[in-house]
């Protein structure tokens, strides 16, 4: 699904984040140490190769909600933005923290003059954040930032299942 809003393109689709050449930057649902791990981080590191792991060591550890940027190496993108989502029900400020992941990633991309950014559903895998709640935070935070973004022309949301995509489509209709 595609939406044009405030001169930006929003895209929603099912896929593997490590195989998306149509985006200048992809966002990694990282761990604090920025190590490979599983899920999104595992796929990104596996495709990017060991030089990504090496560069990540200079930036680790990161805080919940923080975002850092690296090269993308063997990935078909220019940059990777790594952000650490909250673990569901383990943090009292988790809503704000998850919102900060999107806010800080978009601000960092903007600062680096990146024209297109692709997000996974941060925190909704190993970190157990319910997809409906997480989607609302992701899309509301993105909507709030749209006016400020000059460099970013396209924002994508890649989901790992058709079910998750349906949740994004429903929430996008409500929010945008
Ligand atoms: N492409 C797109 N989405 C994916 C992919 C992929 N290749 N793989 C999984 N997803 P997760 P988190 C979906 O666990 O919850 C890691 O081990 C998945 O279905 O990657 O933020 C790190 O090292 C889910 O909807 O991230 C951390 O320790 C979403 O992406 C921890 O997990 C996020 O799942 C981070 O947990």
Instruction: Please give the pLDDT value at position 6.
Output: 87
Mean pLDDT confidence for 59-81: 98
Collapsing DSSP states into helix, strand and coil, what is residue 137? helix
pLDDT reading at 38 higher than 80:
yes
Name the residue at shortest CA distance from atom 34 of ligand 1: 125
Each as own residue / partner, the long-range contacts of residues 134-137 (CB below 8 Å, 24 or more positions apart, any chain) are 134/98, 135/167, 135/168, 135/171, 136/171, 136/175, 137/95, 137/98, 137/99, 137/102
Q: Is 29 in the pocket of ligand 1 (CB under 6 A)?
A: yes
pLDDT classification of 144: cutoffs 50, 70, 90: very high
In 51-172, DSSP assigns E strands to 67-71, 79-83, 116-119, 154-159
Instruction: Please give the pLDDT value at position 92.
Output: 78
Collapsing DSSP states into helix, strand and coil, what is residue 17? helix
Check which CATH number belongs to the domain holding 158 and give it: 3.40.220.10
Range of the domain at 18: 2-175
Closest CA to 165 of 11, 13, 9, 19: 13
Asked whether the whole model's pTM tops 0.85, one would answer yes
Joined together, the tokens standing for residue 155 give: 């924002």
Question: Are the C-beta atoms of 64 and 84 separated by less than 8 Å?
Answer: yes
Q: Is 40 in the pocket of ligand 1 (CB under 6 A)?
A: yes
Mean pLDDT confidence for 146-167: 97
Number of domains in the chain: 1
- Tell me the CA–centroid distance for residue 146 and ligand 1, in Å: 25
């Amino acid at each position: 699904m595609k939406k044009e809003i405030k001169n930006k393109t929003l895209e929603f689709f099912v896929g593997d984040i490590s195989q998306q050449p149509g985006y200048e930057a992809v966002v990694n649902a990282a761990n604090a140490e920025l190590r490979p791990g599983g899920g999104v981080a595992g796929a990104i590191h596996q495709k990017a190769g060991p030089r990504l792991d090496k560069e990540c060591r200079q930036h680790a550890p990161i805080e919940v909600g923080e975002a850092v940027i690296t090269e993308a190496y063997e990935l078909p993108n220019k940059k990777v933005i790594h952000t650490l989502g909250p673990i569901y029900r383990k943090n009292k400020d988790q809503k704000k923290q998850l919102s900060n992941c999107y806010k800080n990633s978009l601000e960092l991309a903007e600062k680096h003059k990146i024209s297109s950014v692709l997000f996974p559903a941060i925190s909704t895998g190993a970190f157990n954040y319910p997809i409906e709640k997480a989607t609302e935070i992701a899309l509301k935070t993105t909507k709030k930032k749209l006016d400020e973004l000059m460099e970013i022309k396209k924002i994508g949301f890649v989901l790992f299942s058709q079910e998750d995509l349906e949740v994004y489509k429903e929430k996008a209709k409500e929010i945008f």
